[in-house]
Amino acid sequence: MAFLSLEGLTKKFGAHLAVDGLSLDVEKGEFIALLGPSGCGKTTTLQMIAGFVDPTAGAIRLEGRDLLAIKPAKRGLGIVFQSYALFPHMTVAENVAFGLEMQGVAAAERTKRVTETLELVGLAAFSGRFPRQMSGGQQQRVALARALVIRPNILLLDEPLSNLDAKLREEMQIELRQIQRTVGTTTILVTHDQAEAMALSDRIVVMNQGRAEQIGPPHEAYERPATPFVANFLGKTNLVNGATVRPEKISFGPSGLVGKVRTRIFQGNHWLYQVDTANGLVTVIRQNTGEAMPAEGAVVHLVWSVAP
């Protein structure tokens, strides 16, 4: 029996079908990413698990129990929102302790768990500060600590890193994954960021128009997309001779598909090429190794291997 099961989960808002018969089994300790464009149903799915939105049809079971029969506050879920939703008049320690107070946890136990959790997220030295005195990344850690301190059955993350700049976002992805592995909490992340979903999750659920187009490990979805939508949504792709070929899989060789370089763009650690061929325009990504690269207008030969 799966730890968490979504069974034919459906939600309609009037005539609009937001989530269409989604079924998903989540194992204990798994990190799942719900990935897709705006309006695909990922946030609505998270809200149904949290209890903020009632399903039109279907079931949600946690260790076999009907989660829909349990009030949201009693579901034992930790939630981190995009906005962090910290109390500005409370210190870091007071923000983190708030959920424990609502649960009636004794003062000594509260102090112990708050201290342990702040150490986990690297904020032990900041317990007396107020949110306004902290950076965006530090505030995100406070929100994560507040969600984890109650020892939730499931951690729900709603675009938690989207307000951070690119460099800090990448750093927080690494930290978030390390924290999740340390704690072992079953986690469901909602994101529209393909790189974030692939970096963090054990499995991704690629959603489109309320339906799951593919469920599986990130590398599998990337290398063997089940549908054209998945292939295009998970990064740049080429359709050559009926096969999906990722740009970084294509090399320049002494023989192969003949083409002429239309565009060459330097992007720091790699070069991005667009090459006109008899099969149409092909995108190529080559790592910047310092070696000389073909110039715009050059005739090249493209070679690649297709994943089995």
CATH 2.40.50.140 positions along the chain are: 236-303
- Residue 209: the pLDDT is 96
The beta strands (E) that lie in 63-194 are given as: 65-66, 77-80, 154-158, 186-191
Name the maximum alpha-carbon separation found in the chain.
73
d(CA 201, CA 191) in angstroms, rounded, equals 11
Q: What is the total residue count of the chain?
A: 308
Residue 292 predicted with pLDDT over 60: yes
Query: Could you give the CA distance from residue 258 to residue 277 in angstroms, rounded to a whole number?
Result: 6
Fold of 236-303: OB fold (Dihydrolipoamide Acetyltransferase, E2P) (2.40.50)
Cβ burial of 155 (10 Å; 0-12, 13-18, 19+) is buried
Taking 90 as the threshold, does the pLDDT of residue 243 lie above it? no
Residue 118 CA to chain centroid, in angstroms? 23
pLDDT tops 60 at residue 57:
yes
Tens of pLDDT, residue by residue over 66-112, are 999 999 989 999 999 888 789 999 999 999 999 999 889 999 999 99
pLDDT at 308 over 70: no
Q: Which pLDDT value is given to residue 307?
A: 60
For the chain, give the mean pLDDT.
Answer: 92
Instruction: Pull the structure tokens for residue 76.
Output: 């034992």
pLDDT at 237: 84
CB 264, CB 303: distance < 8 Å? no
CA atoms within 13 A on the CB side of 25: 6
- Cβ 78 vs Cβ 150: under 8 Å: yes
Q: For the whole model, what pTM was predicted?
A: 0.84
What digits encode the pLDDT tens for the residues 210-229? 999 999 999 999 989 999 99
Q: Is the pLDDT of residue 234 over 70?
A: yes
Per-residue pLDDT at 81: 85
pLDDT score of 283: 95
Percentage of the chain exceeding pLDDT 70: 99
Averaged over 27-38, what is the pLDDT? 96
Give residue-wise pLDDT tens across range 75-85.
Answer: 999 999 888 78
CATH class of the domain comprising 4-229: alpha beta
* CATH 3.40.50.300 residue spans of the chain: 4-229
Q: Out of 77-81, 82-86, 127-131, 147-151, which region has the weakest mean confidence (pLDDT)? A: 82-86
Q: Check residue 158 and give its pLDDT.
A: 93
State the Cα–Cα distance between residues 271 and 287, nearest whole angstrom: 6
Per-residue pLDDT reduced to its tens digit, 264-280: 999 888 999 999 999 89
Q: Give the Å distances, CA to CA, from 232 to 39, 237, 238, 287.
A: 17, 6, 9, 21
Distance CA 70, CA 111 (A): 29
